[in-house]
Structure 1
């Protein structure tokens, strides 16, 4: 086992009262650079007393940390994620998002450290580990790994970029392969969820934005981390990776979504077939380089 350090990430709906709820955790080995981050599988309990704007702040913070962890795995990355870095996050974040003081934990990997933390210090209403594999995070983690395994410059993989269509429509997609021009958009959906109304509304909102794109309206992709803008055309490759349903009600929600996927000409894959998304992206990037 190795010495890892961790902090519990807390969300404070009203920092003045000091009341908080544990939102997630970050753990890493400063020596090897093995870092991981995880948030609650469900935020239903938090929503009872935290406004949507507060949850958006916490979610955005988790996304920024995830982006930093992804970035430090690439060559020539200047920022070192070590104990001082984590201590700095603890010191600097004293508002809606706060981190507990870094503490040591023995584990074989960052993921094992997070399992221990969630098993003993954070109450997650969804049983572990079975249900974790059923939410959307499991799909996006696999897609990140898929894109790392193919022959694509990591800087082309845009995580959680915003797609703007026309003057007023925008939607945050999970991944875009873009560098001045977007060649692929990829979205993950889990239909093994209890909040099916929420899934249905999200699919419809996503479908509405992309239907406007398919219709030929002017559109662009903006990387939320770098603010780089890429053009996008109506024929962009559209990929969807799903966690398929198990119950009858989940199946009905999935059937409705499949009609939207088909209408957009999206390629739909199960999680087991996610490698096909990376292979398609690699082919598109090589074709773009050849054309250039």
Structure 2
């Protein structure tokens, strides 16, 4: 277990009176930069107390906070940012003094941000609908583990291309998490988490991603462009791998089954994190052809 810090997010319809209602919380590890945000499920009670305008302001603040965390975590994977630290949370506490306020950061011992938030909600915030405390694997987790697995497989760092965009034909393009390439792409790898609360959007994203790969498989001229602007060609039979966080609920399983049809049509290998070495060992083998 590690030291985490948390802050409770409050909504104040009239800051002059000091009356507030808790609306959610943010918790994270200031060393690794792994953070999570959770909102109270019973927003109707908040609306009755604070009013629609104050609730909307508080909800918008939490959404913006979640986006900031996601952007930072994506940048961390590419070594392009520093982790959001305890000073970041302290600044939120100092700067928000109006309708939305953050309690003074406090320490907590936990294994991950979700566990820290579960403790906060169990003991400090009353939420009639409490989500499962089971650890959920995010896309960020998958990408971070993949990046480390490529390194452990001794794939040359310069061949591991991230923030990749594939362009197929004149109009179609889609992002890819990883490409093993050096003028020629020999493997493409994409991560998908099916453990999201709003998992119904995932099959739509998979289909949009799959359409571009389908055109590639059909022989359309294609190229990979990485974040540094380097271009690599792609063979229609390029090795295509998918690493997933497997579904845990019935809704998540339905979403995965829908996405699986796309994976099968593309002849993509599908693995979870217990089998990620199959992806990276194949990458190491194919990387030898680029040297």
TM-score by length of 1: 0.62
Question: Partner of 1:12 in structure 2?
Answer: none
Is residue 120 of structure 2 the alignment partner of residue 120 of structure 1? yes
**Once the 2 structures are TM-superposed, how far is the Cα of residue 238 of structure 1 from its aligned partner?**
0.5
Q: Which has the larger radius of gyration?
A: 2
CA distance in 2, matches of 1:250, 1:170: 27
**Once the 2 structures are TM-superposed, how far is the Cα of residue 162 of structure 1 from its aligned partner?**
2.6
Question: Helix, strand or coil for the counterpart of 1:273?
Answer: helix
Contact in 1 for aligned 2:5/2:86 (Cα 8 Å): no
Q: 1:201 to 1:102 in 2, by over 3 A?
A: same
Question: Partner of 1:284 in structure 2?
Answer: 286
What is the aligned-residue RMSD (CA, Å)?
Answer: 4.8
Is residue 273 of structure 2 the alignment partner of residue 271 of structure 1? yes
**Once the 2 structures are TM-superposed, how far is the Cα of residue 67 of structure 1 from its aligned partner?**
4.4
TM-score by length of 2: 0.62
CA distance in 1, matches of 2:198, 2:35: 24
CA distance in 1, matches of 2:113, 2:254: 38
**Once the 2 structures are TM-superposed, how far is the Cα of residue 208 of structure 1 from its aligned partner?**
0.5
Is residue 34 of structure 2 the alignment partner of residue 36 of structure 1? yes
Contact in 2 for aligned 1:240/1:269 (Cα 8 Å): yes
Q: 1:229 to 1:286 in 2, by over 3 A?
A: same
Contact in 2 for aligned 1:23/1:39 (Cα 8 Å): yes
Question: Partner of 2:167 in structure 1?
Answer: 164
Contact in 2 for aligned 1:105/1:113 (Cα 8 Å): no
**Once the 2 structures are TM-superposed, how far is the Cα of residue 197 of structure 1 from its aligned partner?**
4.1
Question: Partner of 1:262 in structure 2?
Answer: 264
Q: 1:126 to 1:210 in 2, by over 3 A?
A: farther
Q: 1:193 to 1:26 in 2, by over 3 A?
A: closer
CA distance in 2, matches of 1:158, 1:285: 12
Q: 1:28 to 1:253 in 2, by over 3 A?
A: closer
**Once the 2 structures are TM-superposed, how far is the Cα of residue 115 of structure 1 from its aligned partner?**
3.9
CA distance in 1, matches of 2:3, 2:253: 44
**Once the 2 structures are TM-superposed, how far is the Cα of residue 266 of structure 1 from its aligned partner?**
0.8
Aligned residues: 256
Gaps of 5+ in 2: 10-22, 44-54
Question: Partner of 2:230 in structure 1?
Answer: 229
Question: Helix, strand or coil for the counterpart of 1:174?
Answer: strand
Contact in 2 for aligned 1:27/1:114 (Cα 8 Å): no
Question: Partner of 2:72 in structure 1?
Answer: 65
Question: Partner of 1:216 in structure 2?
Answer: 219
Q: 1:254 to 1:106 in 2, by over 3 A?
A: closer
- What are the within-5 Å matches in structure 2 for residues 1-292 of structure 1? 26-29=28-31, 34-38=32-36, 61-70=68-77, 86=88, 103=105, 105=107, 107=109, 112=112, 115-116=115-116, 119-120=119-120, 127-130=131-134, 132-133=136-137, 135-192=138-195, 195=198, 197-223=200-226, 226-233=227-234, 234-245=236-247, 251=253, 253-289=255-291
Contact in 1 for aligned 2:90/2:104 (Cα 8 Å): no
**Once the 2 structures are TM-superposed, how far is the Cα of residue 186 of structure 1 from its aligned partner?**
1.4
CA distance in 1, matches of 2:191, 2:133: 20
**Once the 2 structures are TM-superposed, how far is the Cα of residue 269 of structure 1 from its aligned partner?**
1.7
Contact in 2 for aligned 1:192/1:244 (Cα 8 Å): yes
